[in-house]
Amino acid sequence: MEQINNHPLYRIHTIDSAMSSLWDFYTKRFISLFLISFVMGLALQYLGSLIKIDIADYQTFNIDEMMLELREYLWPMLIVSLSGLLFTTILHYYIIYNPLDPNDNIFRCLLKSLRYYIPYLIILVFLAIAGSFALFLGLLVVVIGMLFAAIYIFSLYLFILPVMMVEGPSIANTITRTVTLAHRNFWANIGWTAVFVIIILVITTVLSGFILLPFTGSFFKAFSDPGEAASLMDITQKPLYIILSALISAVTMPLMPIFACILYFSGRAREEKKYYQEAPEDDGGDKVSVEDLYSKPLPEDEK
């Protein structure tokens, strides 16, 4: 397998190069990414369709009754969430390592990525706690503060899996390196993440409208008409809706892991450039490799 710095996304990026690299990587590998994401999306849509929530049951101001109803769906929602996180882990591993070694097909990536799943879940628990605190602080400055806190937490989240998969599954090292890389070139990371989120929201909203057209005739009708909104949950149970939703998610699902890799590789390339600039001239002694800066070797080198 080639070194990680030979990955097509590995370079110091600007906002222009980040978006162009995302597009080039996505289009060159569209077929494989689309098929993998379609299968994952179809599984998630099917699991989600098993959660049948009747909106009429929640048209009450009795909080206790509403919480009692929601408890029935706790485990199904948890299964859907855990499945989604597992698929995210597999897709990240595929995007990082398949370009370096074509032998790492989706089945090998599925098996190899499992070692990162539990540490990933543990780190997400810590991130959720920190995120709740950040959002609470954001409430103190109302809307702008909440938006900034949400973008900041999301930018931290994007670094987690690339750091873990390249530098090793150590929870402590992943947290340290995630915070370090996210805060180095901080405002650029925040700005790029904000732009990416806006793009994804626009694409998702437009594509979601196309999904609803065969059922409601209009995207906005389902949300402006209470009667249509009440029947929206029934629409999500239909096989055609499940298939269309899986197709749409297959288009957008690979974008986040690709963008996450761009953020990580750009930050790491920036570190390497700084290291070489500050390194003293070679005096004939032992040479220090840039890889020595990181606590763990690549997963394949640990075998």
Report whether pLDDT(178) > 90: yes
User: Given 3-state DSSP classes, what are the helix, strand and coil percentages for the chain, each rounded to the nearest 5?
Assistant: 80, 0, 20
- Model pLDDT for residues 97-144, shown as the tens digit of each residue: 999 998 889 999 999 999 999 999 999 999 999 888 887 777 766 677
**Direct distance between the N- and C-terminal alpha carbons of the chain, in angstroms, rounded to an integer:** 13
pLDDT value, residue 149: 87
Instruction: Please give the Cα distance from 74 to 72 (Å, whole number).
Output: 6
The mean predicted confidence, pLDDT, of the chain is: 82
> Does pLDDT of 164 surpass 80?
yes
pLDDT for res 60: 55
Q: What's the pLDDT score for residue 61?
A: 53
Mean pLDDT in residue range 150-160: 94
Flag whether pLDDT at 42 surpasses 80: yes
